[in-house]
């Protein structure tokens, strides 16, 4: 594949082999109704031809019903307890779990028992141990489990991957990735922000943001980490339980290193750059939603900037999941894929204690 | 200072307090006549109003005289031995040492004995131990010694520093820097490339290129390293003695980390980015000469791209040195400044052996 072919693909869904008209709509119970569900997930499902939200699950039935009514979906609200009791189980085919990390396993257990397909937010749980149990639960009930990495279906990322796989940058020699935002500016609206609570989140900036450059580097290189080394930082009181900032290096096979910086207390910014022996591809900006993405491609003496129309990343992700479930396609990223990130991120924390590299092999 | 003032400064020499017409021209003996001297240093000196080349020093007098004749300078050629014997000592006021790293000390010793001001290429020598002796030599003879960091007088870098010092990006939280080139493409012309010889160079990509993001991060943050952690890589046979690639993280005070990648075997690329709590400033491209540099400045919801006319970095550096010598100004970067980089880079090699962080305190 050459650059012009990749350019021509633009934001096409190369993974979509079946028309939505030819498959049954995948009906979702949405578990957790925070800002991300209201602002990102529900609007995407409203636009989807593959999916729809039919049940909204929250601590408060009133809140769930109010949000359902405000949305453009046929959904109705139920409580978490009702969900666990199997209420409305015939009204949905799949669950999208978008609760605090430490609660994912509970909902996976109920969803798996009910035989539902599972789309679970990343990181998969608050620890690798609970992620292992989560995977085992889905396997035991033979239900599809996908971890919700929205970068895998982001067209700019897929085109960057194609550029690398086509050999257009030669042998990848290094990756650098960054993702930062000012979480505290958001927290004014939500003082009980679970992301600051170690018991609920498991980790801070590393778990929330670090998973983006880590996982996207894996996706672009088509390789898994060998070792990690990193440090975290806490400067603001709000981060007394979890890391505010993480700086870490991930070793991949063939001595390819990805250097990463993520922060909940820095100006919003994101970038992912892969430099090879012959060229470079940079995704800039890389990770936040509702951004027009560009690929900066250089090779030899030439450079090109490929600009992409904005896509709704949640729509791409939901549709991909529904497409794969309905066509018995491969579920990617599956739980085992997510578990690799959990091991790597926990190893970054270990690395800080060890003051050096921690092997993942 | 605000952004518009910094913008207005453009490529102005904020350091130049005295007109070249008011100071005596600084006459240089140029020691080492490789491609860098012929392609970069001599053309800059031809354009300079502060400096001129009067002696060219090489292994071959014939070669030195030929290069002198080809240049637009009044220079004549002498041999290294003649230089050590004091030949032509009344024809120059300063030396510019641009030999292989391991030979710097020898020339510094002679120049210092002759009472000449010294501009010595970076890294200062092949080891910190020899750099210490180099500094001591200049001090004992009370001659000015500057290490030739051309980024300190690069206007885009100076403007980036002003932006940071004005608080426009808030508290710096992280730095990332990269510099790569395909050295082997050059080596076809020069099989005896001293950069591949450990005895002459002391280090590979780390010493040649790593010093750029390391030193420029120091300059931008106005801070010195606390600890380092890094790894090197050798994939091509040509790099059997020195590192081809280095990936390293530099800890600065207040848990600010600079992540760096440098390579002699990757597509040419360079970047330096400082992200703060409130904004970001990126120098892109950062380090190679003859490039139009841009500052990408973001703060809050706004971004600006400031483009600079190309300056001759060697001209800026020579003129700054001459200006400071002739006006008894502060010599920056002095030998002690350069020694900090030597300690930090050697610690990166130690870190690789130790498989973890190495403290510099």
Transcribe B200-256 into DSSP letters: HHSSSHIIIIIHHHHHHHHHHHT---SEEEEEEE--SGGGSSS-SEEEEEEEEGGGE
B146 and B295 housed in the same domain: no
Percent of chain A scoring above 70 in pLDDT: 98
Q: Is residue B287 part of a domain?
A: yes
Contact state of A277 with B259 under an 8 Å Cβ cutoff: no
Residue B278 to chain A, least CA–CA distance (Å): 5
Examine the pLDDT at B1 and tell me if it is beyond 80: no
Task: Write out pLDDT tens, residues A60-82.
Answer: 999 999 999 998 888 999 999 99
Mean pLDDT of the B309-332 span: 97
How much is the pLDDT for B94? 98
Q: Is residue B239 part of a domain?
A: yes
Residue A255 to chain B, least CA–CA distance (Å): 6
Nearest residue in B to A270, CA atom: B275
Q: Is residue B110 part of a domain?
A: yes
B353 and B254 housed in the same domain: yes
CATH of the domain at B294: 3.30.360.10
Provide the angle, in degrees to the nearest 10, between the axes of the packed helices B128-140 and B104-113.
Answer: 10
Residue B356 to chain A, least CA–CA distance (Å): 3
Distance between CA atoms of residues B107 and B99, nearest Å: 9
Pairing assessment for the beta strands A26-31 and A94-97 based on DSSP bridges: parallel
How much is the pLDDT for A186? 78
B339 and B226 housed in the same domain: yes
Q: Measuring CA to CA, which residue among A343, A361, A354 is closest to residue A231?
A: A354
Examine the pLDDT at A223 and tell me if it is beyond 80: yes
Percent of chain B scoring above 90 in pLDDT: 93
A26 and A60 housed in the same domain: yes
How much is the pLDDT for B191? 60
Contact state of B255 with A233 under an 8 Å Cβ cutoff: yes
pTM of full prediction above 0.90: yes
Which residue, among A277, A286, A292, would best test binding to B if mutated, counting the most B CBs under 10 Å from its CB?
Answer: A277
Q: B72 pLDDT band (50/70/90 cuts)?
A: confident
Examine the pLDDT at A301 and tell me if it is beyond 90: no
Distance between CA atoms of residues A278 and A300, nearest Å: 6
Examine the pLDDT at B2 and tell me if it is beyond 90: no
Of A124, A150, A176, the one marking the end of a domain is A150
What token pair was written down for B15?
């350091």
Task: Write out pLDDT tens, residues A92-139.
Answer: 999 999 999 999 999 999 999 999 999 999 999 999 999 999 999 999
B79 and B169 housed in the same domain: no
CATH of the domain at A139: 3.40.50.720
How much is the pLDDT for A2? 84
How much is the pLDDT for B189? 65
Mean pLDDT of the A227-252 span: 96
CA pseudo-torsion sign A29, A31, A36, A37: positive
A63 and A181 housed in the same domain: no
How much is the pLDDT for B171? 97
Examine the pLDDT at B3 and tell me if it is beyond 90: no
Which residue, among A168, A238, A257, would best test binding to B if mutated, counting the most B CBs under 10 Å from its CB?
Answer: A257
CA B246, distance to chain mean position in Å, is 18
How much is the pLDDT for B193? 87
How much is the pLDDT for A189? 64
Q: What is the DSSP letter of B39?
A: I
Of A129, A150, A171, the one marking the end of a domain is A150
Percent of chain B scoring above 70 in pLDDT: 98
Pick from A170, A247, A276: which is nearest to B249 by CB?
A247
B164 and B100 housed in the same domain: no
Provide the angle, in degrees to the nearest 10, between the axes of the packed helices A211-221 and A335-354.
Answer: 120
Task: Write out pLDDT tens, residues B140-150.
Answer: 999 999 999 99
Pairing assessment for the beta strands A94-97 and A117-120 based on DSSP bridges: parallel
Pairing assessment for the beta strands A172-182 and B302-307 based on DSSP bridges: unpaired
Establish how many alpha carbons lie within 13 A of residue A347's alpha carbon, considering only the half-sphere containing its beta carbon. 23
How much is the pLDDT for B287? 97
Q: Is residue B161 part of a domain?
A: yes
Examine the pLDDT at A1 and tell me if it is beyond 80: no
Q: Is residue A275 part of a domain?
A: yes
* Bridge partners for A279 per DSSP: A299
Mean pLDDT of the A314-337 span: 98
Pick from A255, A267, A277: which is nearest to B267 by CB?
A277
Q: Chain B contacts of A264, Cβ < 8 Å? A: none
Task: Write out pLDDT tens, residues A140-180.
Answer: 999 999 999 999 999 999 999 999 999 999 999 999 999 99
Looking at the structure of chain B, the number of domains it has is 2
Residue B71 to chain A, least CA–CA distance (Å): 29
Contact state of A174 with B356 under an 8 Å Cβ cutoff: no
Distance between CA atoms of residues B200 and B198, nearest Å: 5
B159 and B133 housed in the same domain: no
Residue B273 to chain A, least CA–CA distance (Å): 11
- Structural domain including B197 reads 155-310+331-359
B96 and B61 housed in the same domain: yes
Q: Is residue A317 part of a domain?
A: no
Mean pLDDT of the B204-224 span: 98
A64 and A34 housed in the same domain: yes
Contact state of B275 with A298 under an 8 Å Cβ cutoff: no
Q: A327 pLDDT band (50/70/90 cuts)?
A: very high
How much is the pLDDT for B8? 92
* Bridge partners for B261 per DSSP: B178, B247
Task: Write out pLDDT tens, residues A267-300.
Answer: 999 999 999 999 999 999 999 999 999 999 999 8
How much is the pLDDT for A192? 65
A237 and A299 housed in the same domain: yes
Other CB atoms within a 10 A radius of the CB of residue B71 amount to 18
How much is the pLDDT for A247? 98
* Bridge partners for A231 per DSSP: A247
Q: Is residue A227 part of a domain?
A: yes
Of B150, B169, B190, the one marking the end of a domain is B150
Provide the mean pLDDT of chain A: 96
Residue A276 to chain B, least CA–CA distance (Å): 5
A119 and A62 housed in the same domain: yes
Mean pLDDT of the B335-339 span: 98
Examine the pLDDT at A239 and tell me if it is beyond 80: yes
How much is the pLDDT for B307? 95
Task: Write out pLDDT tens, residues B121-179.
Answer: 999 999 999 999 999 999 999 999 999 999 999 999 999 999 999 999 999 999 999 99
Residues of B with CB under 8 A from a CB of A: 169-171, 173-174, 176, 178, 180, 182, 229, 231, 233, 235, 245, 247, 249, 251, 254-255, 257, 259-261, 263, 265-267, 269, 275-280, 298-300, 354-357
What token pair was written down for A217?
């580097």
Q: Is residue A178 part of a domain?
A: yes
Contact state of A267 with B276 under an 8 Å Cβ cutoff: yes
Establish how many alpha carbons lie within 13 A of residue A11's alpha carbon, considering only the half-sphere containing its beta carbon. 13
What token pair was written down for B297?
């400045």
CA B195, distance to chain mean position in Å, is 15
């Amino acid at each position: 594949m050459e650059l012009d072919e990749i350019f021509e693909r633009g934001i096409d869904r190369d993974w979509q082999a079946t028309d939505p008209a030819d498959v049954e709509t995948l009906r979702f119970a949405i578990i957790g109704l925070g800002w991300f569900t209201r602002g990102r997930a529900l609007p995407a499902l409203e636009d989807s031809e593959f999916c729809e939200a039919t049940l909204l699950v929250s601590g408060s039935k009133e809140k769930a019903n109010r949000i359902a009514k405000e949305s453009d979906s046929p959904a109705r609200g139920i409580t978490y307890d009702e969900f666990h009791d199997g209420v409305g189980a015939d009204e949905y085919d799949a669950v999208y779990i978008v609760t605090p990390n430490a609660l994912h396993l509970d909902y996976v257990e109920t969803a798996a028992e009910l035989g539902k397909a599972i789309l679970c937010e990343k990181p998969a749980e608050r620890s690798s141990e609970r992620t292992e149990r989560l995977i085992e639960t889905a396997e035991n009930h033979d239900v599809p489990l996908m971890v919700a990495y929205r970068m895998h279906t982001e067209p700019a990322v897929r085109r960057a991957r194609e550029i690398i796989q086509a050999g257009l940058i030669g042998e990848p020699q290094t990756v650098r990735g960054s993702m930062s935002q000012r979480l505290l500016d958001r927290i004014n609206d939500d003082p009980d922000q679970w992301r600051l609570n170690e018991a609920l989140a498991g980790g801070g900036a590393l778990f929330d943001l670090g998973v983006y450059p880590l996982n996207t580097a894996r996706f672009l290189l088509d390789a898994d980490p060998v070792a990690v080394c990193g440090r975290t930082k806490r400067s603001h009181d709000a981060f007394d339980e979890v890391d505010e900032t993480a700086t870490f290096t991930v070793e991949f096979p063939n001595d390819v290193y990805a250097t990463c910086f993520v922060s909940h207390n820095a100006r919003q910014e994101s970038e992912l750059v892969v430099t090879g022996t012959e060229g470079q591809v940079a995704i800039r900006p890389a990770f936040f939603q509702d951004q027009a993405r560009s690929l900066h491609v250089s090779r030899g003496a030439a450079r090109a900037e490929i600009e992409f129309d904005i896509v709704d990343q949640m729509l791409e992700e939901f549709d991909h999941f529904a497409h794969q479930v309905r066509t018995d396609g491969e579920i990617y990223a599956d739980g085992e894929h997510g578990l690799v990130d959990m091991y790597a991120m926990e190893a970054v924390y270990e690395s800080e204690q060890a003051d050096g590299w921690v092997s993942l092999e």
